[in-house]
């Protein structure tokens, strides 16, 4: 049975929150992938999922929404 990822009150998983924190610091997808030991494609998937969950059109908007 597949275990579901823990979701924070903002709707993001713990890993998505980690990715978002690096995005907000200005890290590139490659830099994030290297720091979290995941592929660049996985970073892109997390980014896309977060944009969809919040209805944001870009990462700047996503960071703004998360900080409000």
Say what the pTM is: 0.86
Cβ contacts of 23 within 8 Å, gap of 6 or more: 32, 47, 59, 62, 63
Domain spans, the chain: 14-67
**Cα gap 30→66, rounded to integer Å:** 22
For residue range 6-58, what is the model confidence (pLDDT) as tens digits?
A: 677 778 999 999 999 999 999 999 999 999 999 999 999 999 999 999 999 99
DSSP element (H, E) containing 34: helix 29-36
pLDDT of residue 3: 53
pLDDT of residue 4: 58
| 66's tokens | 């998360």
> pLDDT class for 5, splitting at 50, 70, 90?
low
pLDDT of residue 7: 72
pLDDT of residue 1: 47
User: What's the topology of domain 14-67?
Assistant: Arc Repressor Mutant, subunit A (1.10.10)
């Amino acid at each position: 049975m597949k275990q579901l990822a823990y979701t924070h009150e903002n709707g993001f998983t713990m890993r998505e929150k980690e990715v978002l924190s690096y995005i907000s610091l200005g890290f590139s997808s490659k830099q994030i992938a290297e720091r979290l030991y995941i592929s660049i494609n996985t970073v892109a998937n997390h980014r896309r999922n977060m944009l969809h969950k919040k209805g944001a059109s870009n990462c700047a908007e996503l960071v703004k929404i998360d900080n409000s």
